[in-house]
Structures are given as structure tokens and as C-alpha cells.
Structure 1
Amino acid sequence: MNKTERMLAIVIELQRKGVLRAEDLAAKFETSIRTIYRDVQALSEAGVPVAGAPGVGYSLMEGYFLPPVSFTAEEAVALLIGADFVEMRLDAEYGAKARASQEKIEAILPQNVREETARFRSSIRLLNEQGSKMRGREKETFEQLRHAILQKRKVRFRYSKSLPDSDGDRHNERTVDPYGLVLSQGVWMLVAFCGLRHAIRHFRLSRMNELAVLEDSFQVSPGFQFRNHRAADDRNVTVRLSVDPSIADRIQESDNFYMESFEPGEERGLATFRVRRVEDLLQWTLGWGAAVRVLEPESLRERVREEIQNMLEHY
């Protein structure tokens, strides 16, 4: 990074973060503090209103904004494809904002960069296939939750679980404090404080029904930081499957959430999974028919036998 590029980057960082020390900027751009001092002085001489306070750091004077930044063709492609992704994966409101952003980016590109960007984009596609985006109801759920999160309002919904409770019920009502939305393994999840369980829980948007945004407000639990949050991994059951070579590629491409590893072999492949309970993998295993054999645990082998016997009774 040359001096001109670094000076521009310093202004962008100050505009983004407000106040930064010379030490912070030096670490960010991998240079010396003395170099940062010289860059800031050069910016001031060029008319950029950088204010410095001893022991506090540098900041831009209130009201100053960086003039429009030029993009390379690669940078423009990254932004435009990112907007394509937003339009595909988020709700209708953000889809419209994404299209408007694309138009603004394209409008400020010089003609030669616009033409080069168009060539790049024509060689990249995001296919809008079944399963690659949210369905209509899920998009509505996403939009409602997004507004509830921004407004810090509680939500109530009926939740469908993969396995029934001890009383046989697969559905129950939840009232939660919505903290944030996470895209994991192609599935949108709500991270929320659950009033029923009195703990942080994760809910698939596709399993929510009858969602209502309530008037009641909430405060985020002290100490909780959404950006740093990681769900506790309680997948304590190891499953190993022997896989016929004819479907080895398809097993790997299935990108199963629970798969830990796959070891190909000349005679049979070995797929290893970690699950919370064997039922998490039961239907998926059955779907491969005789091409997959359960090596362990015995409890899953038994459940497979039971399901096959039940199927035989129907035929």
C-alpha cells in the first residue's frame, strides 16, 4: 500500500469508527506510528479536517464526509454480486434496496470500468434454485423479525420441533426476545432469549408459524454480544456410516450439517457424524437405501431396523 492509498484508507477508517489512536492506525496498516503522524499531517495540509487530542486519538471534524470513492472493476463486481445475494436471500424490502444500490454503483462507474464490470458479471451467476432462497412465508417471517430486532420488541410464535416432547406434542408457543438472525448451513436461524426455557435458544425461521410482534419491549441480557455468540455444541453422539463408492461423491456434496469427516476408500467410504440424538440422522440415512450401512451406534442400527419393519408392514 503506497502513501496515497494509506492516507485515503485512514480517512475511511476515521469516518467508519469515529476516533482512533495513532497506535491503532499503525497496527491496522502495518506501519510505524511516526508514519501515521506524517500521513495525518499531510491530510491536514490537503484540507482534510483531522482533529487530534492527546491521549484520545484522531477524529474527523463533525460534518465532514469523504467524497465518492472510485472502484476498480473487481471491487464493483464484489459489491454488485453481494447485492444480488441480498436480493436472493433476504426479504422484499432489502431486495428493493439492493437493486437501488446496484443502480447507484453502476451510475458512478466510469465507462471503461462499467464495461469491464459487465464482462465479469456475465461470467458469474447465483442460481435461484429451489432450496437456495427463502420461501414466501419465510421471507415475511424474516422481515417481521428484522423489524422486531431493530425496535427491541418481543415476538410470539408457534414452533414446530423435529421431535415431539414427552407428551407427544411437536408444537408449542414461544415468547422470546429476538437478538439477531444467523445464516448457518444455508438455514436462517433466530437467536433469542426464550421465556419458556429462560435461556438463549436458536429457532429455524422455516419452523415458525403465527408470528406476532408484541408491544412489549426488551433489553438484551447484560454481557451478551451477538457478534461473539456461539451456540453450545451439545452433539455428543458419534455416528459412523459405511458408504458405497457409487454414492460417495453425492454424500460429500450433500453438505449434511452433522457431518464431521468423510474418508473415501476403494471398497467403502467412511462418513463420521456428531448428533444430539440418533433420530437427527435417521431419515437421512434411510434415504440412501442399501448404499449406506450404519456401523455405530447400535441404537441407530436398531432404529433403522424398526423403520424398515414398519415400511414392510405398509407394503
Structure 2
Amino acid sequence: MNRTDRLLAILLELQRQRNVRACDLADLFETSQRTIYRDMQALSEAGVPVVAVPGKGYALVDGYFLPPVAFSADEAASLLLGSRYVAKQFDEEYSRLAMTASAKIEAVLPESVRKQTDRLCAGIALFESQPDLRPDERETEEKIKQLRRSILEEKRIAFTYSARYRQLARDEDVNTQREVDPYGLVHTNGAWYLVGWCHLRGDRRHFRLERIQSLTRLSQSFVRPDDFSLQQERKEPPIEVQLLFGAHLEAWVKEERSFFTVLEERREEGFYVKLRVRHEAEVLPWLLRWGGGVRVLAPEELRQRVLAEAQAIISANTPI
């Protein structure tokens, strides 16, 4: 962190807390107390009304640096919780930026609003599923860093991709070499996806990061379409999947619902669920976990695939 950034960060820290000790600032910014003393002198010379309170540390004169934006406690809590989620779920760089954003938000809150916000945030906890990153999660983090740079600089990438739906369909070409113009990243249901133009398929595609291997950045540049949006609808019509679960499974299906779910209804004959998928095999692993508790109403091709998979399971587990 350069000195200018540190001075601004110190100012924000003084605004966020009533009194701050030089030793705490030195620990926070990983520098010496002598450097902090010099920074405080620089702030004073720049016209910032910093006062030293014996035994308590540094503080700003009341009324200085009034916030240009007024947040309600609920608004501030929403922003802070969002920043904390990003800090826990995203890569190291975005975690650092999220914590910096949190500090800036807290810095502009009046004391009364800050206390209400603290109470609201104290009632909600965000826990990490794994305190330490698994090897595959570390790989995903590295991929995100590479992809973010390629997206920003609009550089084409190349990688080997394993399409799981092809594996389930027992196709031979499971692994394919791709060249892609990366448009954006999407995080959903605990997984990261790359959205971009696939030159092999000649169309826009979604790639799950765990299935991307040997990622490299190419020299070719591209221009992302002006009308591109991560929220836009796909061009090809999705496949509609209709399922009927036993009524006793309703609560469990809702708790572990598929990412592709678009409709759920409680009916006399059971619990009805409608999905929209790109490929039938995408939903196959989720279907198989329910065993005989689910019946495929449509499409017929998926029903036949479930039957074939069930027969394969029986064959694989039949004693020789």
C-alpha cells in the first residue's frame, strides 16, 4: 500500500472508530508506529483536525468529514452483509476489496445508525463451509484470477474442457479443446461458471470452472458484444422436464432443489416439479439421488435415460 492510500485508509479508520491507537494502526497497515506518527503529522498539515487523546489514541474533531450519503441501518446492514459474503466466497483479491468497501461504508455512518447496523449484523452469521481451501478450490481461485484479467483485457483463452453431460451420455469425446472469448463469470449454487463465445461450437456457451483444465491466455483480442448481459436469455429453447415426486419428499426436494427448477406445485398425486435444462443429462445426477421416489413425466427421452441408468446400476451391483 502506498502512502497516499494509507493516509486515506487511516482517515477512514479514524472516521469509523472514536479513538484509534498508533500501535493498532501500525498492526493494521503492517508498518511501524513511527511511520504512523509521521502519517498523523501529514494529515494535520493537510488540514485534517486530528487530536491526540492521552491514553486513548487519535481521534477526529466532532463534525469533521460529514458523510455525503445517508444510509439507513437496514441499507447499511445489507451492504455490509453483502461485502462479508464476497469476502468469504470470492478469491483473495476480491476478499480484500470487499473488506475495504466495508470499512468505507462504516466510516460514513453516523454513530446512531452505526449502532443499529451493528445490532442488525450481529443477528446474522455467514459461515464458510470449509475453513481451508481444498486443492480444487485453490485451482478454481487461480482460474478466476486468470479469467478476470482476460475478461478485462478482452483476450481469448484456450483450455481443455470435460463436458459432464457427455460423460453421462457415454459419448467418446468427453474432453475437448476449446478456444473461447471470455465475456463474464457467474457464481451460482456454490459453483463458478464462465460465459463466453466458444469458437469450437460457434455459439455462446457456459463452462463450469472445475471442468476447465490447462487454461492459457492467448494473444488474440476480441470485442465483447455491446448488448451482452449475464442476465440475457439463451437463444436456443430449453428442454422442459416434468417430474412427480412422492408427497413425502416435498420438504427434502425443496431443501435440495435443482438449479434448473422453474415451478413447484403440490398436487393430489404428489409433488410436481418443472425444470428447464439445456441437456437432459445435466439433471440426471440430481434425479438419480431420489431413487424410486421420483417419476419422469416428460420428456420421454429422459425417462428412457433414467431407466437405462437404473439398469446399469443393477448390472454393476449384481453379484457375479
Question: TM-score scaled to structure 1, two decimals?
Answer: 0.69
The ranges of structure 1 where at least 4 consecutive aligned residues each deviate by more than 6 angstroms after the TM superposition are: none
Residues 1:208 and 2:209 aligned together: no
Give matches, 1:147-226, under 5 Å.
Answer: 147-164=149-166, 168-184=172-188, 186-221=190-225, 223-226=226-229
Distance 1:234 1:207, change over 3 A: farther
Partner residue of 1:140 out of 139, 142, 148: 142
Please state how far the C-alpha of 1:270 moved relative to its aligned partner: 2.0
Structure 2 Cα separation of the partners of residues 290 and 167 of structure 1: 26
The range that moved more, 245-254 or 182-191, is 182-191
Please state how far the C-alpha of 1:267 moved relative to its aligned partner: 4.4
Q: Equivalent residue of 2:284, what SS?
A: helix
Residues 1:231 and 2:245 aligned together: no
Structure 1: gaps of 5 or more residues: 1-65
- The residue aligned with 1:271 is 273
Structure 2: gaps of 5 or more residues: 1-65
Distance 1:305 1:227, change over 3 A: closer
Amino acid at match of 1:169: D
Give matches, 1:1-315, under 5 Å.
Answer: 68-129=68-129, 135-164=137-166, 168-184=172-188, 186-221=190-225, 223-226=226-229, 229-236=232-239, 238-315=240-317
Task: Give RMSD over aligned pairs.
Answer: 2.8
Q: Is the 8 A contact 2:67 2:109 kept in 1?
A: no
Q: Is the 8 A contact 2:183 2:196 kept in 1?
A: yes
Please state how far the C-alpha of 1:67 moved relative to its aligned partner: 6.7
Structure 2 Cα separation of the partners of residues 144 and 198 of structure 1: 23
Structure 1 Cα separation of the partners of residues 173 and 193 of structure 2: 22
Amino acid at match of 2:106: E
Distance 1:258 1:126, change over 3 A: same
Distance 1:264 1:177, change over 3 A: same
Task: Kindly tell me the number of residue pairs found equivalent between the two proteins.
Answer: 246
Deviation per residue, 1:162-181 (Å, 9 max, x gap): 23399602111212221222
Deviation per residue, 1:184-235 (Å, 9 max, x gap): 55543222122222332222223212212223322234x5433674322432
Amino acid at match of 1:235: P
Question: TM-score scaled to structure 2, two decimals?
Answer: 0.68
Deviation per residue, 1:87-138 (Å, 9 max, x gap): 12322101011112222332343332222111010112233236xx993222
Structure 2 Cα separation of the partners of residues 184 and 279 of structure 1: 19
Q: Equivalent residue of 1:164, what SS?
A: helix
Q: Is the 8 A contact 1:90 1:142 kept in 2?
A: no
- The residue aligned with 1:57 is none
Distance 1:71 1:291, change over 3 A: same
Structure 2 Cα separation of the partners of residues 192 and 277 of structure 1: 18
Q: Equivalent residue of 1:264, what SS?
A: strand
Structure 2 Cα separation of the partners of residues 301 and 213 of structure 1: 41
